[in-house]
């Protein structure tokens, strides 16, 4: 149905997000991380520009993850048996997600380091170390949740 009303297009997109949350593990992980980032951002009282950057990067990460999942599902339906070409396409899609995550993580680290420094009146070095410790704790928590299948 190409000639949908605008509201129908939004409803289809919302349904896709809801379905992906139930069916796609990595989308759930990305949304859990986004929730933690929002809570931390509120704690550090990010300014408007910082929120814009964090929100945009979060949307990009989830959006790329959704596109990767869509490509993988489509490839599996169109070509269910193993294929070198399909495997390469899946690897490239996964690589695009990784690049967005690395970029978002680096940018987020800079934003949160500056905000931590501003909020607590400490040096950028101290803020960077504190944020690195928090990142390691967060990643470790996600890995523990994953190993216990709490996110699945």
Query: 70-95, pLDDT tens digit by residue?
Result: 999 999 999 989 899 999 999 999 99
> Model's pTM, two decimal places?
0.86
Ordered by where they begin, the domains of the chain are 25-147 (1.10.287.3610)
Q: Are 65 and 97 in contact (CB under 8 A)?
A: yes
pLDDT in tens, the chain (152 residues): 566 788 988 899 999 989 988 888 888 888 889 999 999 999 999 999 999 999 999 999 999 999 999 999 999 999 989 899 999 999 999 999 999 999 999 999 999 999 999 999 999 999 999 999 999 999 998 888 888 766 55
Phi-psi region of 90 (alpha: psi -120 to 50; beta: other; left: phi over 0): alpha
């Amino acid at each position: 149905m190409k000639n949908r009303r605008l509201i129908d297009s939004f409803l289809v997109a919302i349904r896709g997000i809801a379905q992906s949350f139930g069916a796609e593990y990595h989308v759930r992980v990305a949304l859990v991380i986004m929730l933690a980032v929002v809570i931390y951002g509120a704690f550090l009282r990010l300014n408007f520009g910082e929120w814009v950057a964090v929100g945009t990067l979060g949307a990009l990460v989830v959006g790329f993850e959704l596109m990767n999942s869509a490509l993988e599902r489509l490839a599996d339906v169109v070509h269910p048996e193993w294929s070198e070409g399909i495997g390469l396409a899946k690897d490239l899609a996964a690589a695009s997600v990784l690049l967005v995550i690395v970029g978002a993580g680096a940018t987020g680290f800079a934003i949160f380091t500056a905000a931590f420094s501003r909020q607590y009146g400490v040096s950028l070095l101290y803020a960077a170390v504190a944020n690195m410790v928090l990142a390691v704790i967060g990643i470790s928590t996600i890995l523990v949740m994953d190993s216990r299948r709490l996110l699945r």
